[in-house]
Amino acid sequence: MRPIGVFDSGVGGLTVVKELIKQLPNESIVYYGDTARVPYGIKSRETVIRFSIENLLFLLKHDVKLICIACNTASSFALPVIKKHFKVPIVGVLSPGVREAVYATKNKRIGLIGTKGTVKSRAYELEIKQLDPKAKVFSVACPLFVPFVEEGLTSGKVVEEVAQKYLAPLKKAGIDTLILGCTHYPVLKPLIKKIMGPRVTLIDSAKQVAIEIKKILAADGMLKEKGKCRHKFFVSDNPEWFENLASTFLGRDVLNVEKATSDV
């Protein structure tokens, strides 16, 4: 049976893989982390689209049956442009989280945190407005969160002060729902929850993405419901760095990460 392909700018996409393994335990996964060119969050739209196409072509060489763009920045910039050019189903991380947020909000004030690229693209805002034109969206870029998580700084004075500063405008705006629009942010969930308080619902799209992928595969008769699976992990640079960080995102170790390049 053909595997599911997942790509991300680096290691963060493993938060999505974690949910996929949980909800689709018999599916094999081929993961590609573009660690040579990470971060995508500060790159231009054109560059992120080019990298995304290259990553997609890499996964297609592994005969994947569906591709998940686990990176929020790549989903925001590239998915709307590239989707129509490929036959393989491509699932991004925005729509599932948006649907959940629109469903969850009571006061129609939704917050979004993400990379600079994701916020600049306004892709979340557009999708939310399409579902509910009356919803108000408040977006804040939190560029330091990614390096904090990668350095293992998920609690303590420094990260808390920065988080307080980033999240202050969202608290002031009176949002009742907050989308964690970046692969790394689920790792900071306890801290974000502490700052935003119990009345704000945090939306972590990884779970919804896995549910959506399961639905698509079932509808296309491609769901693998029994038998063994085998996961493969590729990165464009520094497999050791990836292996060291993997358990922070996946909750378990990843071994035998291979180096491979996607650029054409």
Q: How far apart, in whole angstroms, are the C-alpha atoms of residue 241 and residue 176?
A: 37
Residue 141: CB minimum distance to ligand DGL, A:
10
Q: Is 38 in the site for ligand DGL (CB under 6 A)?
A: yes
Helix residue ranges, H only, the chain: 14-23, 45-60, 72-77, 79-82, 94-104, 116-121, 123-131, 145-150, 157-172, 189-196, 205-219, 239-250
Based on the number of CB atoms within 10 Å of its own CB, is 85 exposed (0-12), middle (13-18) or buried (19 or more)?
Answer: exposed
Q: Which is nearer to ligand DGL, 72 or 105 (CB)?
A: 72
Name residue 258's beta-bridge partners: 234
Residue 143: CB minimum distance to ligand DGL, A:
8
Kindly give, in sequence order, each residue whose CB lies less than 8 Å from that of residue 46, ignoring residues fewer than 6 positions away.
none
If you count them, how many residues does the chain have? 264
Compute φ and ψ for 31, nearest 5 degrees: -110, 135
Among 15, 35, 52, 115, binds ligand DGL (CB under 6 A): 115
Q: Is 118 in the site for ligand DGL (CB under 6 A)?
A: yes
Stretch that binds ligand DGL, among 20-28, 68-76, 158-166, 217-225 (CB under 6 A): 68-76
Q: Which of residues 122-151 bind ligand DGL (CB under 6 A)?
A: 146
Q: Is 238 in the site for ligand DGL (CB under 6 A)?
A: no
Q: Is 71 in the site for ligand DGL (CB under 6 A)?
A: yes
Q: Which is nearer to ligand DGL, 3 or 39 (CB)?
A: 39
Q: Which is nearer to ligand DGL, 41 or 111 (CB)?
A: 41
142 labelled catalytic? no
Evaluate whether 173 touches 112 at the Cβ level (below 8 Å).
Answer: no
Q: Which is nearer to ligand DGL, 148 or 196 (CB)?
A: 148
Residue 9: CB minimum distance to ligand DGL, A:
3
Concatenating the DSSP letter of every residue in 29-76 gives EEEEE-TTT---TTS-HHHHHHHHHHHHHHHHTTT-SEEEE--HHHHH
Q: Is 19 in the site for ligand DGL (CB under 6 A)?
A: no
Instruction: List residues with catalytic annotation.
Output: 71, 182
Q: What is the binding site for ligand DGL (CB under 6 A)?
A: 8-10, 12, 38-41, 71-73, 115, 118, 146, 182-184
